[in-house]
Amino acid sequence: MKVFIDGREGTTGLQIQQRLERRDDVSLIVLPEDLRKDPEARRAALNEADIVFLCLPDEAARESVSMIANDHTRVIDASTAHRTDPDWVYGFPELRRGQRDAIAAANRVTNPGCHATGFLAIAAPLVDVRVIPEDMTLHCFSLSGYSGAGKRAIAQYEAAEKSGDLYSPRLYGMNQRHKHIPEMMAHSGVRARPVFSPVIDDYFCGMATTVTFSNRALKGHPYAEDLRDILATHYLGSRFVRVAPFDASVSFLPANTYAGTNDLEISVFGDQDLTQITARFDNLGKGASGAAIQNMNIMLGLPEDWELR
């Protein structure tokens, strides 16, 4: 299979390239440095490839899709451009029944955003079984390492001298217009815009995305352990997503536990009144390049964990 990464210089593109370079079942199309932004060179590569990964700003991703003039090139877009487009298949295989089959048959797959992956892993199964009412306003707090902010932010965080605020957690997206919110709503089934509080901190990678509930607002007033059982049933048999046993003795939950993997673990805490559910994963793995490779494997009819750690 011939694979072209359009935008391989960014963090996600480089991660995808590094993962694919370990494989002997794909051939990478790599443009020379002086041609990587040349429209005709890109057009030729896009149309030669069997699989294209788009790791570009939204407008550039749309432009790349418009350059494809054949029926065989299949696209996995890691940008935000197509995440709520009904003509594209959402690339979260574990999200709900039938999602893997839709990805396998698709020519156009949009890779989930990192924060959205954690939010949806928690909320979508509970909305599907109507435990979470569709009109309920959800509250989500999502902590990420600085690698998710791109090459410029990485350079700032890793500089020999950096400003004092970079040593502490930093909240952002306070205007409640974060680019992941439309995606979070579209694929969870909730109609109310969630209150979303993303945070970036001074460590390289790993995420901890948390959704909290007052159990009285949920249908049937379930206990925290009941919610854990619903999620465990939903993800039963999943290769990469698992639900931890209910353990009230846990005191700390590190956000970088699954750095370097494509795993996502959901942990549920609380009692009969209040519940906290946290999804932990690698923002560069299941939140970006790992998910993209998983989707490619599914599209090619390979085991979804083929050459994917």
Q: Measuring CA to CA, which residue among 6, 141, 117 is closest to residue 64?
A: 6
Q: What is the 3-state secondary structure (H, E, C) of 22-88?
A: CCCCCEEECCCHHHCCCHHHHHHHHHHCCEEEECCCHHHHHHHHHHCCCCCCEEEECCCCCCCCCCC
Q: Give Cα 204 distance to the centre of its chain.
A: 17
Rounded to 10°, the helix 58-67/39-48 angle is: 60
| Token pair 């699954």: residue | 258
Residues annotated as catalytic (active site), given as ranges = 114
